[in-house]
Structure 1
Amino acid sequence: MDFALDATACAVRDVAADVLSRHEAEWSATFGKPTFGKQADAHADDHDGKLWQALVDAGLLALALPESAGGDDLGVLGVAPLLRALGAAAAVTPAIGAIAAELTLRSADPDTRARLAAPLVSGSWYSVAVSEPGDALGSRPTAHIVDGKLTGMKTGVLHADGASAFFVTTADGVVVVPRDADGVTVRRTPSSSGAGEYTVTFTDVALADGDIFGIDSAVLRDQYRLALARYADGLIDGATRLTAGHVSTREQFGKPIALFQAVSQQLADIYVIGRGMELATTAAGWRLSQGLDAGRDLTIATYWLAAEIPATMRTMTHLHGGIGVDLTYPLHRYFSVAKDLARLVGGAAVQLDELASIDGARSAAAEPEDTTMLVDLTPEQYALRGEMRSYFTGLVSADDAREMLTDRHGPAYRRIIKRMGTDERLGVGWPKEYGGKGFGEIEQQIFTNEAVRADVPLPSVTLQTVGPTLQALGTDEQKKRFLPAILAGEVHFAIGYTEPDAGTDLASLTTTAVRDGDHYIVNGQKVFTTGGHDADYIWLACRTDKEAPKHKGITILIVDTTDPGFSWTPIITADGAHHVNATYYNDVRVPVSMRVGEEGGGWRLITTQLNHERVMLGPAGKLDGLAEHVREWARGTGPDGTVIGEHTDVRRTLAQIDAYVRINELLNWQVASTGEAISMADAA
């Protein structure tokens, strides 16, 4: 699996960035937006004309056109970076509709494509007319053709007044209509940003034979939805960068406001929303590029656009204070365009209704035409998922499940892990040289997803954090002693990091380890040590150099819990379960041979290990497993005899859950596919 752009897409991204960096945006421009008591100037330039010409001059608007017309013949993935860059710059141009139309032309016959592509090289554009009154994004177009004449009304048509023609969805497929054709009426309508939006009415517009493509309207609709989503993906990225820059330099009470915990938490939420938008849009684009059904991912992307991005823009405006609404400062453009886009797609409820109507089942991946980017499981990985799902079903008995409700790391837990070891299921992603199956991180993610989906406990810390770290940095003695026992399900580790006064600020830990010959003497206390009462060993972070900077003097030791100086007391959580503890270390002796890595080099081990642990703690399978219980309930009937799932609120809630499950799945895939280059932010 690979989410990375190919060389061509990277080149497009770089050229777009260069063009935009040389363009001076006029942030106070409102493109003929009406003021109080006045109408918009229907003939005002409804977009940034200078930027549009710069894009034309750079050849960026010809990317999707055929080479015979002077274009580059790029597909969805090749032009995506341009749309994202325009969004990141909050650029108001006709590019969204123009590029969607150009990509749709790839489905036309060669003669039609060449004929319609020719005018676009010099800067003309086509506007996309998809939405209709009461049907944003036009999932059920009512515009129709009778006796060769088109009749219908389209709303929210972007930059219609200056277009050379319209690409129109109808009940009979896509048609092209010249802007100056008899029977075409164009009326400008208000928008938050002032960007040109129009209602276009077609009244008995005569169509020539060449104006009817024979292309299904769904093709144009999907390309347009993707263009909107990819632009919105860039929009939130640009606003996020603007906000991060502001809070990093804006000082209050003698320090940047980015250092205030409330602000940093809001920034984290903003980052999560942005990553969700990028992942959903990337997945949708990849599926379209492979000729696969992208309906689910497209709808999730447009739902995210409508539900999450405007709310996130409000947060960013709040973080800016008064400057966020200054007409000469860029943020107002980002916010107003985001509101326009959310309205154009019909709002969150409309997208949830469409998502609810889509079958959530996904067919096994076909062999992709191009594996440069791959945003799906392979057929072999789908087969592994089916195998794992079958294996985990029924692995936990009702009695074991009942016991583990309150004793998460007791005898039942040990029995289940030992059985998985005996069945050789624990080493899916481990290298063969250490006894594993030799697959990879994606397969390990599949294993984890299916286990938690079936509510089967896993030795996550031992298997996915301690094991891989020992493989990379452990001594031969440590590897020989621990790795086979981990895969056999016979040895269990707990992590000893958090302290009463060192939680989020982990580098402030005070537990000490003092060298005494060939041992370390450990003293200190840890809290929230999951499984510490049952673990065979504690993977302990200690301070070995009090004089070193706090990130430099930390060392990782493997503590044997049979040492008489080790003890614990339970911490019972709100669900009544015992799975975390306070652990104590009073003159605990640890052989130097049980040090992992170099003395003082523990911080890098901690961050690397936490990244892997966080991935294991957030698998999409857990959400999907819980959602399946809700779906099963929704298949039943209520007191009135109506199927519960037919109620609108229930359908929308299940669709919303589906969106979150999918984005979580994509994030897990993306993080797993990066291997050692894992992002700390993405893992968190």
Structure 2
Amino acid sequence: MDLRPDPFQQRLRSAVDTVLTRTGDLPAQLADIGVPSLGAPERLGGFALGLSADIVVNERLGHGLEPLDSYRATAFALDLLDCDGAPTELLAEILADLYKGTRHAVVVGARGGGAVQVRDGGRLWGESESLPAGDIALCIVRTAGEDGAAWRLAIPEPGTCVTEPAEHLGIPASRLRFHGAPSQSLPVTTAHWQRALAAARIRQAALLLGIADWITDVARAHVNTRTQSGKPLVERQTVAHRLAVLIGEGEGWKLLLNKAAWEFDRGGRPDAAAMLAVAGEHAQLASRIALQLHGVRGMLAHSTAASVYRMVAVESARLGTPAALWREAGSAA
């Protein structure tokens, strides 16, 4: 396989970078260049270009420090909705809003736990985990019931589904409270769930590697200008060596990410849990090193290094901590 970016990926990367230089509503501006529909399933009106396109977008969002969690949450939900028997014919208006970037979809209960229950003829009760902030148009809910776990499709309605603003380490989020919200059964098989989860993890890995790449560049620029005891920090072997290792490993993980996306798009089963684990660990390491190299200045709450450290702490655990992902990858080997 050829791991070099193809012309389409290069143009997509350039287009996303251009959007990130503008001010205004980021989801709407990404929608203007067609980003939300690029990887969406064909039966839902998308172009189904696969993860090879998705990872480009997410890596650039990470590099621009614009995580836009709602974008990946929507992609995850649409992957689960892309199944035989899903009532897609009733969702045309909602799908149009998703592709315009004005609203987004979420997956509730992706990490298990059964906080939402289904009873009373398909009505949902309970509270979601932390979700991306914004206007939620559609929920794919993993529920707990008398017959075990099941998947439900819910359209939030006033009175039965309340969206509460939240915050996680300074990053805006939201929670959903279901009070008898109506829902429909969604026939998601175990194989379908596992494949959708794998795709979501590869997208998340791309985001984390983009964040790590950016904060590594910031740390490199800092040590080239910051002096200590009369000479630049970069001239100290321990500093230069750690940054060189970090840069080299980052390039290697990006190659592995492209390989995982390439295999997935061709029907393969790359180890997405391991891919997200290494991306999470690499981003955590990069943010720690940057924080240390910036010294006291980097520990100020408003500093770039501290902001990225908090961002990585949230994003590296969104679909499982690295430790939990390694255990999962090991048990599947």
**How high is the TM-score relative to the length of structure 1?**
0.42
Which residues in structure 2 correspond to 1:305-324 (within 5 Å)?
A: 305-324=279-298
Partner of 1:38: none
Segments of 5+ residues of structure 1 without an aligned counterpart are 24-48, 132-136, 361-684
Partner of 1:538: none
Instruction: State the SS of the aligned residue for 2:128.
Output: strand
Match of 1:349 among 291, 307, 323: 323
Which residues in structure 2 correspond to 1:369-518 (within 5 Å)?
A: none
Instruction: State the SS of the aligned residue for 1:3.
Output: coil
Asked whether 1:290 is paired with 2:266, we answer yes
Asked whether 1:240 is paired with 2:216, we answer yes
Partner of 1:128: 106
Partner of 1:90: 65
Q: CA deviation digits over 1:36-85, x for unaligned, max 9?
A: xxxxxxxxxxxxx6333322333323323468988544222112111110
Cα RMSD (Å)? 3.2
Task: State the percentage of identical aligned residues.
Answer: 22
Matched residue type, 1:157: L
Match of 2:75 among 94, 99, 105: 99
- For 2:49 and 2:87, locate their aligned partners in 1 and report how far apart those are by CA, in whole Å: 18
Asked whether 1:76 is paired with 2:76, we answer no
Residue 312 of structure 1: how far off its partner (Å): 2.9
Change (3 A) 1:125 1:108: farther
- For 2:174 and 2:167, locate their aligned partners in 1 and report how far apart those are by CA, in whole Å: 8
Partner of 2:156: 179
Q: CA deviation digits over 1:277-309, x for unaligned, max 9?
A: 424433432332122223xx2111232244443
Partner of 1:53: 28
Instruction: State the SS of the aligned residue for 1:349.
Output: helix
Partner of 1:163: 136
CA contact (8 A) 1:98 1:125 kept: no
Change (3 A) 1:350 1:70: closer
- For 2:287 and 2:194, locate their aligned partners in 1 and report how far apart those are by CA, in whole Å: 30
Partner of 2:2: 2
- For 2:187 and 2:105, locate their aligned partners in 1 and report how far apart those are by CA, in whole Å: 16
Structure 1 or 2, whichever has the larger Rg, is: 1
CA contact (8 A) 1:12 1:79 kept: no
Change (3 A) 1:120 1:81: same
Which residues in structure 2 correspond to 1:142-291 (within 5 Å)?
A: 143=116, 145-146=118-119, 147-159=121-133, 161-170=134-143, 171-173=149-151, 175-180=152-157, 182-192=159-169, 194-208=170-184, 212=186, 214=188, 216-275=192-251, 277-291=253-267
Residue 13 of structure 1: how far off its partner (Å): 0.9
Partner of 1:503: none
Residue 141 of structure 1: how far off its partner (Å): 5.8
- For 2:140 and 2:280, locate their aligned partners in 1 and report how far apart those are by CA, in whole Å: 24
Residue 187 of structure 1: how far off its partner (Å): 3.5
Residue 104 of structure 1: how far off its partner (Å): 4.4
Partner of 1:592: none
Matched residue type, 1:266: R
Residue 169 of structure 1: how far off its partner (Å): 3.3
Partner of 1:334: 308
Change (3 A) 1:203 1:280: farther
Change (3 A) 1:313 1:5: same
Matched residue type, 2:59: R
Residue 213 of structure 1: how far off its partner (Å): 5.4
- For 1:277 and 1:108, locate their aligned partners in 2 and report how far apart those are by CA, in whole Å: 35
Instruction: State the SS of the aligned residue for 2:176.
Output: strand
Change (3 A) 1:70 1:186: closer
Partner of 1:119: 97
Partner of 1:444: none
Change (3 A) 1:181 1:228: farther
CA contact (8 A) 1:65 1:117 kept: no
Segments of 5+ residues of structure 2 without an aligned counterpart are 144-148
Change (3 A) 1:155 1:142: closer
Partner of 1:427: none
Which residues in structure 2 correspond to 1:555-566 (within 5 Å)?
A: none
Which residues in structure 2 correspond to 1:586-605 (within 5 Å)?
A: none
Change (3 A) 1:356 1:154: farther
Partner of 2:38: 63
Residue 231 of structure 1: how far off its partner (Å): 0.8
Matched residue type, 1:86: L
Matched residue type, 2:28: Q
- For 1:350 and 1:185, locate their aligned partners in 2 and report how far apart those are by CA, in whole Å: 31
Change (3 A) 1:65 1:356: closer
- For 1:308 and 1:118, locate their aligned partners in 2 and report how far apart those are by CA, in whole Å: 37
Instruction: State the SS of the aligned residue for 1:90.
Output: coil
Change (3 A) 1:84 1:5: same
Matched residue type, 2:267: G
Partner of 2:274: 300
Asked whether 1:22 is paired with 2:35, we answer no
Partner of 1:583: none
Matched residue type, 1:10: Q
- For 1:293 and 1:107, locate their aligned partners in 2 and report how far apart those are by CA, in whole Å: 19
Change (3 A) 1:124 1:279: same
Which residues in structure 2 correspond to 1:539-578 (within 5 Å)?
A: none
Change (3 A) 1:272 1:7: same
Residue 322 of structure 1: how far off its partner (Å): 3.5
Change (3 A) 1:141 1:302: farther
CA contact (8 A) 2:155 2:183 kept: no
- For 2:196 and 2:178, locate their aligned partners in 1 and report how far apart those are by CA, in whole Å: 18
Question: Number of residues paired by the alignment?
Answer: 322
CA contact (8 A) 1:273 1:312 kept: no
Structure that is richer in helix per residue: 2
Instruction: State the SS of the aligned residue for 1:150.
Output: strand
